[in-house]
A and B are shown apart, each in its own frame.
Chain A
């Protein structure tokens, strides 16, 4: 039963992706799948205008990932290691943006910090606010783990300073959680549409906005080719999650 459900879930996700690929490689999809023959011309047509947009989105996602680690890491540490009403409240507050519609969040940010919009800083802040809960959700349980804390205590008793303990014990133990946080934040930022649509200046759109524009104004085959290229940039990130899980040290019983 479990196997059937997991296979059905995979099929549910994969079929639309395959359909997009079929559309992107069809000469004329209006005649049906691969109508008029198979071609890669749509990719060649779609790539030049998409390349700078992809580059911009990758840069934004990379900055958002870095900021998540810089801010979310210490915040998760504080929440995990100092349980108190204040840390619990912080945990709740960080999650609030998840319950707020993107348009409301965007309008609030644009209204409050209009001066940050032209530089793109507001876009990064919008993505940060939106992704920080996922970083905390991944890192906090890992950092609160009793076994990890015992290992850290032993490492300290053996003569290791705080930085060495962090580098040799804490980070390796949290590697899966960190990888999950990084990939999740990267994927969320890279594919984020709502906040980007409202905050970003139209002249410097991000990839999801470019896709929206393509599907609105161009042929389906071209837009599908752009979608396929977009997906190709997400696949390595998802692969990294799987590899990190496999390489993670198994806990001792």
Chain B
């Protein structure tokens, strides 16, 4: 596997001058006893930028965030915040705004007292403190709830309290750990958009840790994907989607399949020649990651009737393993040539034990290395 961590300007990342003003993590290592939780993680977040760290459970994303907050010891690497090396600095002196997964709204304090907590701790004068709390209440639309206790708030309101409390101290970086995971799935869409709006109104570098692909894609201007504590790819959502570094990235981010392919004149040859796809049907794009590969998102394939199946090798016969009705579509899981493929077809599609698949023109991509 090729590890791809792109932080240069080509990937939309900030240059060195901007890095100094935001958050920079270089070659971070975190260990718990003999267990390595994070190894060689590097990332940077510019002021007013949001970077999402994503990966499966236990991949080290929360440990990365806790290391930035100073809540776990760093075994190696450096963490720079607004130009200061904070690697071994006490959490209280880092100037980070932390919003943990359960929001950690202090249960014995009102909403206003929660928001004022960090300001009190820093000795901000009362008048200035009241003004800042008022600003934060306005920003997070909590003014009416200022004197309520946390147990009188909904999950979304508690999230806003935690966000307001973290932002009140004007942090150099805002750290959000699974910001929507504690909410009902029905509420997440709306609150994700709401959160996105509030983050856009801040000037600090925001680091979001999530296991939710949609959350990462919609909130992050760049995404770092981790696996087993190591970085796999760090890039913009569009580039991760369009040019994944490997099959794991494609699968984790969108459930897509990445197949090794060869170009044979006007055809892309896949699965040891079992499948020959006319190149004119494919979206041919350059890749920065290794060899020629075929990228299939769920909408990249369609089912054709048996009598209409072309006999030129452009159709792939696959065994149907699972059919799932998702309301507006049928989601098929099929297997061919040792690969499991996801296919989304209209709900009325006839599906037997096996299906013939062809690429939907322009919906599947052939990634070809730069010469």
Taking Cβ atoms with an 8 Å cutoff, the residues of A that contact B are: 147, 150-151, 153-161, 164, 168-169, 172-173, 249-253
B138 within 8 A of A: no
The smallest beta-carbon distance between A147 and chain B, in angstroms, is 7
Q: Flag B116-128 by CB within 8 Å of A: 1 or 0 each.
A: 0110011000000
Residues of chain A with a CB closer than 8 A to B166's CB: 158
Given A249-B149, A252-B151, the answer on whether A156 and B92 have CB atoms closer than 8 Å is: yes
**Cα distance, A151 to B103, chains bound together (Å):** 9
Knowing that A172-B108, A249-B108, A252-B105 touch, tell me 4 more A-B residue pairs with CB under 8 angstroms: A150-B102, A154-B162, A173-B107, A250-B107
B158 within 8 A of A: yes
Taking Cβ atoms with an 8 Å cutoff, the residues of B that contact A are: 69-71, 90-98, 100, 102-108, 117-118, 121-122, 149-151, 153, 155, 158, 162, 165-166, 169, 175
**A155, B117: Cβ atoms closer than 8 Å:** yes
**B92, A160: Cβ atoms closer than 8 Å:** yes
**B106, A159: Cβ atoms closer than 8 Å:** no
**B107, A251: Cβ atoms closer than 8 Å:** yes
B100, B103, B121, B153: the one contacting A158 at CB < 8 Å is B121
Residues of chain B with a CB closer than 8 A to A252's CB: 102-103, 105, 107, 150-151, 153, 158
**A169, B92: Cβ atoms closer than 8 Å:** no
The smallest beta-carbon distance between B129 and chain A, in angstroms, is 13
Residue pairs across A and B with CB atoms within 8 Å: the count is: 84
**A160, B121: Cβ atoms closer than 8 Å:** yes
**Cα distance, A159 to B168, chains bound together (Å):** 12
- List 25 A-B pairs, Cβ < 8 Å: A150-B102, A150-B104, A151-B106, A153-B104, A154-B100, A154-B162, A154-B165, A155-B106, A155-B117, A156-B70, A157-B70, A157-B91, A157-B92, A158-B92, A158-B97, A158-B165, A158-B166, A159-B93, A160-B118, A160-B121, A164-B121, A250-B107, A251-B107, A252-B105, A252-B150
**B92, A153: Cβ atoms closer than 8 Å:** no
**Cα distance, A106 to B158, chains bound together (Å):** 54
**B71, A158: Cβ atoms closer than 8 Å:** no
A147, A153, A160, A253: the one contacting B117 at CB < 8 Å is A160
A153 (CB) vs chain B CBs: closest residue: B71
**Cα distance, A160 to B118, chains bound together (Å):** 7
A161 (CB) vs chain B CBs: closest residue: B92
Residues of chain B with a CB closer than 8 A to A164's CB: 121
**Cα distance, A7 to B150, chains bound together (Å):** 34
